[in-house]
Amino acid sequence: MSSVVPSPLLDSLLEAALPESGIPWLDAARRENRAAVAAAGLPDTRVEAWKYTSLRSLARHGFAGGDPQAASRDIDPSAFALPGVAGPRLVFVNGVFRHDLSALAELPAGVVLEPLSRALAEDPEPLRFVLSRHYREVGDAFARINAANAIDGVVLRVAAGVEVAASVHLVFIGTPAGAALAWHARNVIELGQGSSLALVEQHLGEPGQADLATLVSDIELREHARLRHTVLQAAGGNHLIRRNSLRLHAGAHAVMHAIELGGALVRHDLQVALIGDGARFDGRGVFMPQARQHIDTQLAIRHEARDTVSDAHWRGVATDRARGVFRGAVLVAPGADGSDANLSNKNLLLSRDAEIDTKPELEIYADEVQAVHGATVGQLDEQALFYLRSRGIGTGEARALLTSAFCCAVLGDLASAALREHLAALLMAHLPA
């Protein structure tokens, strides 16, 4: 099920010196994860979760392990400015924390926001549980690679009952480092009981780059915590492999909007576990691969407690020879009675050579469950196109208008109007002329 055939990708990652933290349990975890990757290799397309995303071409490339100049690379702060996002900020360049670009001076009371490297240096013990995790599946190769190699990332904690007014901004920038580069970030986010937070996660890169980044985020929402999480991915030509794992305790509510525009090979594993009664997840996503981009979203929602709700709607638009993949798997576990799951993925193919593979899956083992799922792949509505043209709107603009409306349908409930308009404008600008 996996190729242990040596690949330049794996070789380069395995040969790089393991980061030594001096923390025995952490160094042990890194060694174990590296050994696990070395033994199992990378998943091939016979592994269900990687069926539509082949790593063969990526595996042929080697990547240098880290950018020694990352701390001094010139970055224009306007590149990551977003309207309506002016709160605390943590910026990483090629995986390295950049104090000079971050904004940590005035953290609201009850908020801890710091780079993982500092948290480990000061007090590693609270991170032990998360960072000692073992990944068991062969499909988890990149989570293992991340666990073995990540030396920095985000630690964000909101104390119980604290409602953070300003959006927290996490920025991951890939910038050319000469040779092809691999970097890794490990994020640990926890919202205390009854707290609330708006989080904006941004990925940037340049079109000419072809670096590899892995990001793993563990996001824990304690009882009745509320999270609004917006992801804007414009990673340029880079390969970006991310995993967001959310765990929602009783009454917690997470809202995610994920916009995927950039990246050469992009993989987003979004795992949501509704582990407490009445927990709720609302997910909205747009992926828009162009040229030869490959964007793969793997959404897995587990209803593990009573009266949990998930409502997830993703839209894909593929042009040129691009490929989009969406797998939405909803599982309602035994005992999660009264759960309500709604999952949809609608897609537009704007060129004959584009491809979208979509696969909704539903497994229900509980009673009194409401579950709806559906997926469609289609083209723009010819009637609507003619209607717009008959009013004087040119073909290109009419197509852009309809495509943008198709995508923006899932952004309607984004809480920040400024951010919503900005994202809509980005989508519109991203559309093929």
Partner 1 sequence: MLKIENLHARIAGKEILKGIDLTVNAGEVHAIMGPNGAGKSTLGNVLAGRDGYEVTAGTVTFNGEDLLALAPEARAAAGVFLAFQYPVEIPGVNNTYFLRTALNAQRKQRGEKDLDSMQFLKLVREKLKVMNLPNDLLHRAVNEGFSGGEKKRNEIFQMALLEPQLAILDETDSGLDIDALKQVAAGVNLLRAPTRGFLMITHYQRLLDYVVPDFVHVLADGRIVESGDKTLALRLEEHGYDGLAERQPAGAEA
Which residues are at the interface with partner 1 (CB under 8 A)? 381-384, 386-395, 397-398, 401-402, 404-406, 408-409
CB atoms within 10 A of CB 161: 13
CB 429 to partner 1: min, Å: 16
In angstroms, the CA 113 to CA 111 distance is: 6
CB 55 to partner 1: min, Å: 36
Taking the CA atoms of the chain, what radius of gyration do you get in angstroms? 21
Q: Which is nearer to partner 1, 28 or 409 (CB)?
A: 409
Give the Å distances, CA to CA, from 196 to 158, 160, 225, 371: 8, 9, 6, 28
Sign of CA dihedral 174, 185, 270, 191: negative
Which element (helix H / strand E) includes 34? helix 24-40
In angstroms, the CA 347 to CA 318 distance is: 8
Q: Which is nearer to partner 1, 364 or 385 (CB)?
A: 385
CB 412 to partner 1: min, Å: 9
Percentage helix, strand, coil for the chain under 3-state DSSP, each rounded to 5: 25, 40, 40
Sign of CA dihedral 126, 132, 137, 142: positive
CB 286 to partner 1: min, Å: 12
CB 345 to partner 1: min, Å: 17
CB 386 to partner 1: min, Å: 6
CB 183 to partner 1: min, Å: 38
Q: Which is nearer to partner 1, 68 or 394 (CB)?
A: 394
At what angle are helices 24-40 and 141-149 packed, to 10 degrees?
A: 140
Question: Which residue's structure tokens are 């709806």?
Answer: 372
Q: Which is nearer to partner 1, 329 or 398 (CB)?
A: 398
Q: Which is nearer to partner 1, 238 or 404 (CB)?
A: 404
CB 382 to partner 1: min, Å: 7
Strand partners of residue 376: 346
CB 425 to partner 1: min, Å: 13
Q: Which is nearer to partner 1, 364 or 402 (CB)?
A: 402
Q: Which is nearer to partner 1, 294 or 420 (CB)?
A: 420
Q: Which is nearer to partner 1, 130 or 388 (CB)?
A: 388
Q: Which residues touch 417 (CB under 8 Å, ≥6 apart)?
A: 84
CA-wise closest residue to 145 among 231, 59, 70: 59
Q: Count, in order, helices (H) and strands (E) of the chain.
A: 9, 22
Task: Give residue 381's Cα distance to chain centre.
Answer: 31
Q: Which is nearer to partner 1, 44 or 397 (CB)?
A: 397
Question: Which residue's structure tokens are 């950039």?
Answer: 262
Query: What is the three-state SS of 139-161?
Result: HHHHHHHHHHHCCECEEEEECCC
In angstroms, the CA 349 to CA 323 distance is: 10
CB 280 to partner 1: min, Å: 25
Q: Which is nearer to partner 1, 212 or 400 (CB)?
A: 400
Strand partners of residue 196: 163, 226
At what angle are helices 8-15 and 141-149 packed, to 10 degrees?
A: 30
Q: Which is nearer to partner 1, 24 or 392 (CB)?
A: 392
CB 101 to partner 1: min, Å: 36
CA-wise closest residue to 400 among 355, 348, 352: 348
For the chain, give the number of residues: 433
